[in-house]
Amino acid sequence: IMNTTFSLNNITTFGSTVYGIYAVSGSNITIVNNTIRQLGASSRGILFDNANTYSSANVSNNRIIEEGASSRGIETKTKGLLATWNFINISGGSAEGINDPTSGGFNFITRNTIVGTNTSLTGIYFGSVQNSNYSHNNISLNGTSNVGIYIQNSHHNAVTENNVTIYGPGNVDAAAAGIRTGTGTLQYNTISNNIINTYGNLWAYGIVAQTQYSNVTENFITTTGNISHAIEIISSSTNASNNVITATGPLSAAFYITASDNLIQNNTVLQAHDGFLIDNAGADRLNLTLNNLTNIAGYDLNITTAGVNNTILTSQDIGKYWFTGSGGRVDIVYPGIGEIRFLE
């Protein structure tokens, strides 16, 4: 189908694995001002099935209610899609508001409102996507192990200026998070200027960053639960800078780091149990520069494992610190003043 508009439809479906609007092998398609309610599991409110093809589609101002488990409000197997000003309510377990899966890219997902109450919900998911923009979306999820925005196997994307609120905890195997990255090739992504609040009582993180050569910058993050770190960095070559962090829960760190070769600079930590919690012997060559730490209940710098090497503190004030074991080296550098190197 080409040059087609679907508008002002009122659609209700009852069975499982059904579609409200299904567009395949088309271009210049407009889907606007529709109301779609689906009661069955594994359903799709709006599905574009045009993999790896530029569709130039517009999905705007739709109201979609997904009540079945594993359902998706909008699924976009295409390129060149604009999805904006949609309202999506997901209430079935493991449901997703917007799913931008394999062979996609060059999509603009913006100014959508996604709400939901249940377990293992995802507001926006994208995988194997490149050169797309996810911005100005409002996401509010209530339940256990929910994730606002989930990034998988994608590169050169921007996740910016979203407002994400997570109510409810995670667990040790599936933490809740405002923004989370998964496995695969995750490189050159930007996560910036987002407002993230998590209110779970346990394992409800702000940002989980497993994305190499990427920027996590200028985000405002508040976590309130126990072991609810503001930013967890589990991949190398990440720049985390100019973030404003409040982590009020017990044992919650501003930065929880398990990977090497990362730069953390110019961040403002207003409250946390630990400022920098380094929890893996492979987290070498960490550069901490000009971060401002206040109201730290535990340690400014807490290295929990022996053998962490070449931690560099550049113009970085550290008050309370803890080094576990021996064998690592820490360099303290103040340009124009001097440099000190010592073993843990």
pLDDT of residue 281: 84
For residue 121, the Cα-to-chain-centroid distance in whole angstroms is 13
Q: In angstroms, rounded to a whole number, what is the distance separating the alpha carbons of residues 331 and 206?
A: 29
Q: Residue 182's pLDDT band (boundaries 50, 70, 90)?
A: confident
pLDDT digits (tens, 9 = 90+) for 41-61: 999 999 988 766 777 889 999
**DSSP-assigned letter for residue 182:** -
- C-alpha 23/C-alpha 57 separation (Å) is 10
Helix, strand, coil percent values for the chain (each to nearest 5): 0, 60, 40
pLDDT tens-digit profile of 258-313?
999 999 999 999 999 999 999 988 899 999 999 999 999 999 999 998 888 889 89
Kindly provide the residue ranges of all beta strands, DSSP E only, lying in 210-334, ordered along the sequence: 214-217, 220-223, 231-233, 238-241, 244-247, 253-257, 263-265, 268-271, 274-278, 287-289, 292-293, 301-303, 311-314, 321-323, 329-334
Instruction: Quote the CA–CA distance of 336 and 179 in Å, as a whole number.
Output: 39
Asked if 230 and 247 count as a contact pair (C-beta separation under 8 A), the reply is yes
Condensed to tens digits (0 to 9), the pLDDT of residues 123-162 reads: 999 988 899 999 999 999 999 999 999 999 899 999 999 9
188-203 in b/e form (b: 16+ CB < 10 A) is bbbbbbbbbbbbbebb
Q: Which residues pair with 46 in a beta bridge?
A: 21, 74
Query: What span, in angstroms and rounded, lies between the C-alpha atoms of 56 and 10?
Result: 24
